[in-house]
Structures are given as structure tokens and as C-alpha cells.
């Protein structure tokens, strides 16, 4: 029997992990909403790290592109990868020092701090549910999936969506794609 | 040891599929409505995409989930339809180098010798790897994407043995990702035996465009011209471009001359194909900046993909199918309403029972129609074969007549004969193609009429609905079996092109470019008649040549007709499959109406009426979009 996984606990443990500390992610970077992946039939979680910079104005906190990724296998919480996206071909034209958007974005402006926290906590619970269900330790219903999709689409900064898409297409199309973008080359 | 995840494909499944999984697992216990997954609307406009989404939602709302799923599938097919570009040319012209440079990475093997031995498809995938498929298109290996993985897949490793499979290279590429492009790297054209040449011919039939690669060191040989004419132009490949490689291997002062030579040659041969130089190059005087650089080549690809005609075809196809499904649902809902209006329980049960019987009979009629259509296919094949025999006799007679009047028999046999065969077979291909298309059209019309008749004789309530509600004014159950627009053009040219490709091969073999005569069982030109033979008396030579013509011409035609027959069968099979899909949709709708009537509740009639009105609105919207498409298409045609 696999022990129940909690995403909040993983994040807490990560901060004191030796490997993570050696990655020397600069101060100021914080973990965004994690991406779940299946690699060689093992469940993995990828924490994208990005920077926020306050400007003193309400709803004008600068959001910078996702710069680092820490990949971890579940449920062991073993770190199996670290990547600085600055060196990935697909991000070669991204200026990581240039902000891409603001926090709070339109979809969350209507919520006060408490309401935002409630939604955030709910989303984390949905992460826990899907992780535990995939590890054979609980159920994850259609309603859960739909709710997780809704919450992610509300909470995630729209300016970061393209990065999420580039990092993991499957996660993006399952949870983040609204399907109304226009594409072309 | 790593824990195995319960469902490795979980994140690849969209919401709808995941729903099914959880239901099977009994997690929720109740059947829930699904929200459609919306993919990238690449091949369809936002307006069409939005109509489709609304229709899908509406069908889920009226509990016709299967029909909604069908539209979702159609939509995904239309959206995900790849734009396939083949990179073709003779061997060692730099096709693979071009692809490596296009993707800005060395992922395909190149060398100075012919290297690419197998058809190599290149698609986007974030999980990069090489997949090897055998001749039956079955995946038999997965490899890491590295140069070492190619070791046994290059020409040098086959040692005379052919590998008839294909390789699929999955690479992470923005270019492929955002445009749904797929590239095919082909082995060098002059490097092929007959079977593989035919195989590549078949692949080209499924392509949307082709990049012709020629080398500056030997620009546009006659065989390259023939390749372009026979394999690309004759197959009506809609998008072509030509790139000149290896310009850096000739002195700077000669480079502009080579480019000009190629452009002039294409003009002289009346081949309207844009020319590009994919790499930045040093020029001495004249520069060709407007056609130089990989960005220009990518720009050309972008224009191909954004071609409005292509999008219009996708849109029309998906909307026509959607309209049919909506019509099926409207018909079924109307029946539900009428049945529910019957308050007498006994009468209602009798109506349901009658409907069930009719459905069972309808299924039999559908089956019978399929068999009749298969018979028509056999008849069509017979007709074409008999026409081919007539052509064979006439061509033989004409060629024998020419032999009896030719003064220089050796010259006629080695130079004129292959050309004459090519011309004759080309004419024959056009004739047979047109006869085949006319026959197919007749049979399709017959099939459509029969299906319509079947629908009308079995849907009694619908007639009332037409009168009462004018819901079915445009109801045409036969629409499905018109060829899918997307395939119409390709299919139409498949039949004759088999003949054309054989005639092309005949010419090649006679000229000595492709040693395939032996494999075809046909000998032409000097290969079968020695110098000694042409030293004989002229009358004896004439008789021998006449005999040879009588032997080899029917053989050419028989070979080509075998391939044509196979393609003709595929056309009929497509029609039957299309009708079968329509049949399934119709039966599902009818069955749903019977199932739902059994759980009809008070007050539902008003709701059905409301749904019918909404469906009518959807129908009107789709029809107005279709009319707009028709208008746009005809305008662009006239332009």
C-alpha cells in the first residue's frame, strides 16, 4: 500500500532537499502550479519555478517566465531532474528577465485574498486526489477532473500558458487548453 | 524500484475519455455528461469551430451523446489533419541535409553516398524517439533519437536486401507543432527498384505538397524533369517548390548563373514551380536575396497551409457531416415527440413495437444495399478491363503500323518506341480515368437514391414533420456517400496515375535510368535485341518487332490495370464505408428515440420542442456557413 501523497508536504520537503538546495535556484523564485507526467509508467511531478516582482501597485506584481524545472518521482519524492529552461532550444528567444504579465490577472481579480486561498487549497486537494488515484490509493472522478481543469484555468496566469504547453503538451491539453486560440506559423 | 502508475495513458486522455475510465471503475457510479475537448482549430475557422462546439454541447444536452461524440471525432479529424510535405529528388541531392537544416539540428544521417534507405516521416512529439515500422505498417521497434539508432537503417546496411518498412521520427519542433506539418524524407529517386519506386509513388499520392531538391553541381537533368512531370505534376500534387542545394560547391562567380539556368529551364519546360536557395550563400554580383534563406522556404510552407481553398475543403467536409448528424437527431426527436403525444398506452406500445420491426427490416435493407454496391464495383472493374483490352489492341495495331513504315528500326525501337508507349498509355490513362469516374458517379448516384428511398420508406413520422414543422426541408440522408471533399481530388487521380506511373517507368527503363524492365516482365529497347538482330534483313526485323510489340504492350497495360483495379476497389470501399457510417448514425438515432420514449416524463414534450427549435437554429447556421463556403470557393476559383 502506497502512503497518501500530499502536494503541500512535497513542497515543504522539497525546500530542505539537498539536491534542490544544490541546484541554487536564485532567491525570489517560487514554485508555480505543478505539472503531472507519466514517465516510463512512473508518476512524476514537475515544479516550474518562476519569479514574481512587486511594484507597489495593486494587481501590478510582475510575472516572469518559468525559468527552472524540478522533476520528482512519486511517491518516493526522489528528484530525477533539474532543468534551466534558458538552455532549452525551444526557449531560446525568451528573455527571462523580461516580465510576461501581471498578478493578479483578470480571472482572479474578483476574488479577495481569502477567496483566492480557498480556490488554491481546493486545487491542491484536486492535485492530491489525482496523484493518489494514479498511485492506486483513491478515486478521481470525472467531476474532480472537470473541477481541477476549471481551477487551473482560473488560477494560472494566462501569460504562462504557452510555457506550460511547451513543457508538457499532454498536461496542457488535458487541463489548460481552452481550445479557442488561433494558431499558425 | 519505481512505483508503476495505475493508468500510464491518463494524461493523454482528454476529459471525455477520462470520464469513461472513471465510470468503468465505478468511482462516481452515475453517468455524467461530458464536456467536449476542444483542440486547436488549425484547419477550420473560429466561426465553424464555434458552431461545432455549440452543436456538440446541444447534443449532449439532448442526451444524444453518441452523436455528439461523432461530431467531436469529425472535428478532431478535421483539426488534426496533417499537412504532409514530401522531400523528393534523385539520390545525393541533399534532401536529408535540407531537413536537418530546416529543423536546425543533425537528427537524420547524411553522407556523400546515397544514405536514406527508407521512407522517413518526421512528426512533432515532445517525447523524441525513432519508431521503426515493418512492411505491414506494424511498429516493431522503438529507439532513442540519436545517430547510433540509424546504423542499420541506412542504404549501406541493407546489402542488396530491401527494407520495405517506414521510419517515424518524433522530434520536438515548433514548426511542426504549430502548423500540424509532417515531412517525409524519401530515398533518392534514381536509387530505387520498381517496388520501392511504386511505394514512394503511393506515398506521394497522400501528400499535400513536395519539396524537389536539386543539386547545383548537376542542376535539372532530364531524368529530374521526367520525375517532376511523372511523379508530381501528373499526380496533381497541389503545392510544389524546388530548392537548389550545394551552391557552395561551385565558385561564387558561377552561382548566379546556375540559379538563372534552373529558373529558365523551368520556364522553358512550362513548369510553374517557385525556386528557393535554403542556405545563406556568398554571391559575386547578382544576388537572389528574395529567394534565399530558410525563412523564405518556411514562408512558402506557411502560404501553402494558409491556402483558403484548403481550409474551405476542411470546413465544408466537417460541416456537411455535422449537418447530417443534426438532421438524424432532429428526425429522431420529432419521432419521440409524436410518440409521446400518443396518450393511449396501448397505442403507444404498438407504435414502438412497429418502429422496432421497421428498424430491424431497415438493417436488412442496408446490408442488401452494401452487397449490391459491391457487385457494382465488380462490374465497374470488368468494364474497365474490357476497355483496357480494346485500348491494348488499338495501341498494338498503331505501333505495329509504325514499325512497318519506319526506316531506321533500331532508332525507332530504342528512341521512339518508349516515347510512343508513354504517350499512348498516357492517353489511355486519361480515357480510362474518365470512364471510371463516370461509372463511379453513376453508381454513387444510384446508391444515394436507394439510401434516400430506404430512409423515406422507414421514417413515416418524418414526412409529417416536414409538413408540420419544415424541419427537414434540406434533409438528404444520402449526403454521406458523396465522396468526402478532402479525398475527392486525391482519389480521382489515383486510378489513372497507376497507368501513368507504369508508362513513366517504361520510359525510364528504355532510357536506362531504371533497370526495372526485367522485374516487370517487359523488355524494351536495345536491352532485348542485340546488334546482331539489327544486322538481319529489315523485313525479318519488322516481324520480330511486331511480335515483341504484341507481347509487351498488353503486358504493360495488364500490369497497370492490376494497380488501377486495386484503387478502384478502394474507391467503392470508401463509399460503402461512408454509407455504413451514415447507417450507424441513423440507427443510433432511431434506437435512441425508442429508448427515450420508454422513459418519457410529463412535460418533456415542451422540452423536446425547445430542443428541436435549437437544432433548427444550428441547422440554419451550418447551412448559411456552407452557402458562404460555396460562394467563397467559387469566387476563388474564378479569380
Domains annotated on chain B, with CATH? 83-306 (3.40.50.300), 373-580 (no CATH)
Cβ-defined contact of A140 to B22 (cutoff 8 Å): yes
Distance from C-alpha of B278 to C-alpha of B300, rounded to nearest angstrom: 12
Residues of B in contact with A133 (CB under 8 A): 6
CA distance linking residue B179 with residue B208, whole number of Å: 13
> Rounded to 10 degrees, what is the CA torsion of B354, B359, B361, B362?
140
A87 CB within 8 Å of a chain B CB: no
Q: For the sheet containing B209-215, what is the strand order?
A: B139-143, B129-133, B166-171, B119-124, B181-185, B83-88, B209-215, B239-245, B275-276
pLDDT in tens, chain A (185 residues): 556 889 999 988 888 888 888 888 888 899 999 999 999 889 999 999 999 888 888 888 889 999 999 999 998 999 999 999 988 887 887 888 888 888 888 888 888 888 899 999 999 999 999 999 999 888 888 888 889 999 999 999 988 888 888 888 889 888 988 653 322 22
| A36–B174 CB contact, under 8 Å | no
Residue B172: closest CA among chain A residues belongs to which residue?
Answer: A90
C-alpha span between B491 and B271 (Å, rounded): 24
Contact assignment for A168 to B32 by CB distance below 8 Å: no
Q: How far apart are CA B599 and CA A6, in angstroms?
A: 44
Antiparallel, parallel or unpaired: β B209-215 and B83-88: parallel
CA-nearest residue to A77 within chain B is B2
Give the span between the Cα atoms of A111 and B477, in whole angstroms: 51
Tabulate helix, strand, coil % of chain B (nearest 5). Answer: 65, 10, 25
Q: Which site among A142, A161, A165 would you substitute to test the B interface, given the most B Cβ atoms closer than 10 Å to its Cβ? A: A142
Show residues of chain B in contact with A41, CB under 8 Å.
2, 4-5, 8
How distant is the Cα of A96 from the closest Cα of chain B, in angstroms?
19
For position A47, what pLDDT does the model report? 95
ipTM at complex level: 0.82
Contact flag B3-A76 (C-beta cutoff 8 Å): yes
Under the phi-then-psi rule, with left for phi > 0, alpha for psi from -120 to 50, and beta for the rest, what region is B29? left
Helices (H), B62-125: 65-80, 95-102
**pLDDT band per the 50, 70, 90 thresholds, residue B291:** confident
Q: Summarize pLDDT for B360-402 with one digit per residue, the tens.
A: 887 788 888 888 888 888 888 888 888 888 888 999 999 889 8
- What are B36's three cell numbers? 467536449
Number of A–B residue contacts, CB under 8 Å: 117
Higher-pLDDT residue of B96 and B435 is B96
Is the CB of A184 less than 8 angstroms away from the CB of B179?
A: yes
Amino acid at each position: 500500500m502506497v502512503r497518501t501523497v500530499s502536494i503541500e508536504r512535497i513542497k515543504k520537503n522539497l525546500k530542505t532537499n539537498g539536491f534542490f538546495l544544490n541546484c541554487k535556484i536564485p532567491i525570489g523564485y517560487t514554485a508555480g502550479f505543478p505539472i503531472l507526467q507519466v514517465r516510463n509508467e512512473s508518476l512524476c511531478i514537475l515544479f516550474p519555478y518562476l519569479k514574481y516582482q512587486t511594484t507597489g501597485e495593486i494587481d501590478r506584481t510582475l510575472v516572469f517566465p518559468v525559468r527552472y524545472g524540478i522533476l520528482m518521482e512519486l511517491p518516493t519524492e526522489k528528484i530525477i531532474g533539474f532543468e534551466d529552461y534558458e538552455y532549452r532550444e525551444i526557449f531560446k528567444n525568451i528573455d527571462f528577465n523580461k516580465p510576461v504579465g501581471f498578478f493578479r490577472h483578470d480571472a482572479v481579480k474578483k476574488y479577495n485574498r481569502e477567496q483566492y486561498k480557498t480556490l488554491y487549497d481546493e486545487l491542491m486537494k484536486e492535485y492530491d486526489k489525482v496523484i493518489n488515484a494514479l498511485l492506486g490509493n483513491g478515486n478521481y472522478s470525472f467531476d474532480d477532473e472537470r473541477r481541477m481543469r476549471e481551477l487551473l484555468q482560473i488560477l494560472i496566469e494566462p501569460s504562462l500558458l504557452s510555457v506550460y504547453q511547451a513543457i508538457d503538451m499532454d498536461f496542457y491539453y488535458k487541463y489548460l487548453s481552452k481550445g479557442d486560440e488561433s494558431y499558425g506559423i | 524500484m519505481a512505483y508503476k502508475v495505475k493508468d500510464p495513458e491518463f494524461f493523454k486522455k482528454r476529459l471525455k475519455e477520462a470520464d469513461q475510465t472513471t465510470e468503468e471503475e465505478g468511482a462516481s457510479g452515475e453517468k455524467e455528461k461530458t464536456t467536449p475537448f476542444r483542440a486547436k482549430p488549425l484547419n477550420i475557422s473560429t466561426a465553424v469551430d464555434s458552431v461545432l462546439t455549440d452543436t456538440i454541447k446541444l447534443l449532449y444536452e439532448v442526451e444524444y451523446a453518441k452523436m455528439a461524440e461523432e461530431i467531436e471525432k469529425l472535428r478532431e479529424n478535421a483539426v488534426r489533419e496533417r499537412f504532409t510535405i514530401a522531400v523528393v529528388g534523385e539520390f545525393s541531392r541533399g534532401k536529408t541535409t535540407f531537413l536537418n537544416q530546416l529543423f536546425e539540428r543533425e537528427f537524420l544521417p547524411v553522407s556523400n553516398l546515397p544514405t536514406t534507405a527508407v521512407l522517413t516521416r518526421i512528426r512533432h512529439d515532445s517525447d523524441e524517439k525513432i519508431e521503426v515500422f515493418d512492411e505491414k505498417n506494424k511498429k516493431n521497434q522503438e529507439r532513442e533519437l540519436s545517430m547510433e539508432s540509424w546504423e542499420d537503417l541506412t542504404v549501406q546496411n541493407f546489402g542488396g536486401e530491401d527494407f520495405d518498412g517506414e521510419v517515424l521520427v518524433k522530434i520536438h519542433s515548433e514548426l511542426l507543432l504549430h502548423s500540424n506539418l509532417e515531412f517525409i524524407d524519401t530515398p533518392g529517386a534514381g536509387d530505387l527498384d520498381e517496388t520501392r519506386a511504386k511505394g514512394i509513388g503511393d506515398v506521394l499520392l497522400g501528400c499535400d505538397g513536395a519539396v524537389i531538391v536539386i543539386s547545383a553541381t548537376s542542376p535539372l537533368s532530364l531524368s529530374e524533369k521526367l520525375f517532376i512531370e511523372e511523379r508530381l505534376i501528373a499526380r496533381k500534387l497541389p503545392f510544389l517548390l524546388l530548392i537548389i542545394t550545394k551552391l557552395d560547391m561551385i565558385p561564387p562567380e558561377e552561382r548566379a548563373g546556375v540559379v538563372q539556368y534552373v529558373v529558365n529551364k523551368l520556364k522553358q519546360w512550362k513548369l510553374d514551380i517557385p525556386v528557393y536557395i535554403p542556405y545563406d550563400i556568398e554571391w559575386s554580383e547578382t544576388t537572389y536575396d528574395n529567394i534565399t534563406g530558410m525563412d523564405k522556404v518556411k514562408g512558402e510552407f506557411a502560404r501553402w497551409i494558409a491556402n483558403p481553398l484548403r481550409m474551405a475543403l476542411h470546413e465544408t467536409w466537417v460541416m456537411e457531416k455535422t449537418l447530417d448528424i443534426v438532421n438524424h437527431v432532429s428526425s429522431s426527436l420529432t419521432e419521440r415527440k409524436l410518440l409521446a403525444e400518443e396518450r393511449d398506452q396501448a397505442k403507444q406500445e404498438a407504435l414502438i413495437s412497429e418502429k422496432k420491426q421497421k428498424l430491424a427490416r431497415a438493417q436488412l435493407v442496408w446490408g442488401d444495399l452494401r452487397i449490391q454496391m459491391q457487385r457494382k464495383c465488380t462490374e465497374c472493374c470488368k468494364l474497365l478491363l474490357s476497355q483496357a483490352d480494346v485500348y491494348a489492341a488499338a495501341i498494338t495495331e498503331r505501333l505495329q503500323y509504325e514499325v512497318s513504315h519506319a526506316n531506321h528500326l533500331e532508332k525507332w525501337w530504342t528512341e521512339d518506341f518508349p516515347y510512343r508507349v508513354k504517350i499512348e498509355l498516357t492517353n489511355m490513362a486519361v480515357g480510362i480515368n474518365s470512364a471510371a469516374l463516370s461509372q463511379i458517379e453513376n453508381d454513387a448516384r444510384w446508391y444515394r437514391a436507394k439510401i434516400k428511398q430506404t430512409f423515406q420508406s422507414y421514417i413515416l413520422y418524418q414526412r409529417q414533420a416536414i409538413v408540420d414543422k419544415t424541419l427537414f426541408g434540406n434533409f438528404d440522408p444520402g449526403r454521406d456517400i458523396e465522396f468526402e471533399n478532402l479525398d475527392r481530388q486525391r482519389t480521382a487521380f489515383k486510378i489513372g496515375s497507376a497507368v501513368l506511373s507504369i508508362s513513366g517507368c517504361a520510359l525510364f527503363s528504355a532510357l536506362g535510368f531504371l533497370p526495372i524492365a526485367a522485374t516487370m516482365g517487359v523488355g524494351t529497347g536495345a536491352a532485348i535485341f542485340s546488334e546482331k538482330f539489327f544486322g538481319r534483313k529489315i523485313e525479318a526485323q519488322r516481324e520480330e518487332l511486331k511480335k515483341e510489340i504484341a507481347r509487351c504492350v498488353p503486358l504493360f497495360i495488364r500490369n497497370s490495370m492490376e494497380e488501377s483495379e486495386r484503387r478502384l476497389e478502394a474507391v467503392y470501399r470508401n463509399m460503402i464505408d461512408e454509407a455504413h457510417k451514415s447507417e450507424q448514425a441513423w440507427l443510433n438515432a432511431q434506437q435512441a428515440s425508442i429508448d427515450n420514449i420508454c422513459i418519457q416524463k410529463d412535460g418533456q414534450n415542451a422540452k423536446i420542442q425547445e430542443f428541436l427549435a435549437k437544432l433548427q437554429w444550428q441547422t440554419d447556421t451550418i447551412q448559411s456557413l456552407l452557402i458562404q463556403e460555396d460562394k467563397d470557393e467559387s469566387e476563388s476559383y474564378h479569380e
